[in-house]
Amino acid sequence: MLLEVKDLHVSFHTYAGEVKAVRGLSYTLNKGEVLAVVGESGCGKSVSVQTVLRLIPIPPGEIKKGEILLNGRDVLKLSEKEMQKVRGNEVSMIFQDPMTSLNPTMTIGRQIAEVLTRHQGMRRVAAMEKAIEILTLVEVPNARERAHQYPHEFSGGMRQRVMIAMALACSPDLLIADEPSTALDVTIQAQMLDLLKGLQKKLQTSIILITHDLGVVANIAQQVMIMYAGLAVETGDLREVFYDARHPYTWGLMKSMSRLDLNRKRRLTPIEGVPPDLLNPPEGCPFADRCDYAMRVCREEMPELKIVSGNHGCACWLLHEEAPKVSRPELNGG
């Protein structure tokens, strides 16, 4: 097992009070697998994965509780110096907006080479050669020439390739991609995901892919985790979650999912309402207020994550034996 997150709680202290961004999250990831974390914005996806690299600013952030075991070591207990050896080396990260994620006053080549000199003790010249090699790997044309250019000379898609090159420079065990294609044009998005998929096959790196688009997931992930209001509401293998979704929120996501291939006539139905404010998270199921199937108990008590079958878990009162039987609505794809 590469990564094991146990009962993680992360909060942010704001003027209005404590915002509980992650409220008891547990998941695991095996070597060489791709885990997709899906959910609306503001549901704690980014915070939960940035905590793996301890990149959330403290203060105002605070890791209240939990363990993050990376290859058996709890990263939350590492010193800052030890943590630096993990970042970019064992675990690296790609961010959402490639336009602002690169240093504007440093050449692309140097920004990649920097990781190599830092973690692999390479000389600058050798690191630069390696950087050019990696740029070629991520399909940046004329890599040798472009390595000496600055970020403003690159398009968004090209910059994201550079980010990927930088992240993969030290062949990390785990790559965290935080909505890597959201800020890009639709055509570029597909290219970017194909590239990630290809590289994953070639390098056998584990990936945590954060996205709010379920459509992206089917292509690349083996594991899926659906997050809502700082919690995992449904987790499991791709097939299980896709073909046997149990949580009404997952159903909602599927109905609102855009797919280019099928059902051109199908209406996209968004989920009504907005997620709860995590300043005062509700006592019961956070989705209850937006749920078509809500019951009294949903408002009163939080359902536990129950195993449905194999790896498939779901936190919903509908799974309780006393609950009325509800059949899954007609979904596309399934």
Partner 1 sequence: MEAIAKERFEPIPKNIQAGQIIGRKPLSYWQDAWRRLRMNRVAMASMWVLLFIFLVAIIGPVLFPQYRENHLNETLMAPNAKYWFGTDDLGRDNFARVLRGSRISLFIGLTVAFISLIIGVLYGGISGYIGGWLDSLMMRIIDILITIPDMIILILLLVVLKPGVGTLILALSLTSWTSMARLVRGQVLQLKEQEFILAARVLGAGTWRIILRHLIPNALSVIIVRFTMSIPGIIFSEAFLSYIGLGIRIPEASWGNLASQGAQQFPSNLWLFFIPAAFICVTMLAFNLFGDGLRDALDPKMRK
Partner 2 sequence: MVRYIIKRFLISILTVWVVITATFFLMNLMPGKPYTGEKAIPKAIQENLNAKYGLDQPLITRYFIYLKNVSRGDLGMSMTYKNREVSEIIRDNFPVSADLGIRSLIFGVIAGLFLGVISALKHNRGWDSFSMLVAIIGVSLPSFIIGTMLQFGLGLKFSAFIKDLFNTDFQLFPIALWESPWHKILPSFALGLASLALVARLMRTSMLDVLNQDYIRTAKSKGLSYRTVVMRHTIRNAILPVVTILGPLSAAVLTGTFVVENIFAIPGLGKHFVQSVGMYDYTMIMGLTLFYASFLIAVNFLVDILYGIIDPRIRLAKGKI
Q: Cβ of residue 139: shortest distance to partner 2, in angstroms? A: 21
Q: Which is nearer to partner 2, 104 or 324 (CB)?
A: 104
Interface residue list for partner 2 (CB under 8 A): 53, 55, 80, 83-89, 92-93, 95, 97, 100-106, 114-115, 118-119, 150, 152-153, 163, 166
Q: What are phi and psi of 111, to 5 degrees?
A: -65, -30
Structure tokens, 112? 């990649």
Contact positions toward partner 1, by CB under 8 A?
14-16, 272-277, 279-280, 282, 289-300, 317, 320-324
Nearer to partner 2, 152 or 320 (CB): 152
Strand ranges inside 172-282, DSSP E: 174-178, 206-211, 223-228, 231-237
Q: Rounded to an integer, what distance in angstroms lies between the CA atom of residue 135 and that of residue 137?
A: 5
Partners of residue 326 on adjacent β-strands: none
Of the pair 115, 184, the CB lying nearest partner 2 is at: 115
Residue 231 — φ and ψ, nearest 5°? -135, 155
Q: Which does 321 bind (CB under 5 to 8 A by kind): partner 2, partner 1, none?
A: partner 1
Closer by beta carbon to partner 2, 23 or else 159: 159
297 binds, among partner 1, partner 2, none (CB under 5 to 8 A by kind): partner 1
Task: Please give the DSSP secondary-structure letter assigned to residue 48.
Answer: H
Q: How far is the CB of 235 from partner 1 (least distance, A)?
A: 20
Q: What are phi and psi of 274, to 5 degrees?
A: -125, 160
Taking the least distance from each CB to partner 1, the nearer of 198 and 273 is 273
**Residues 33 and 206 sit within 8 Å (Cβ to Cβ):** yes
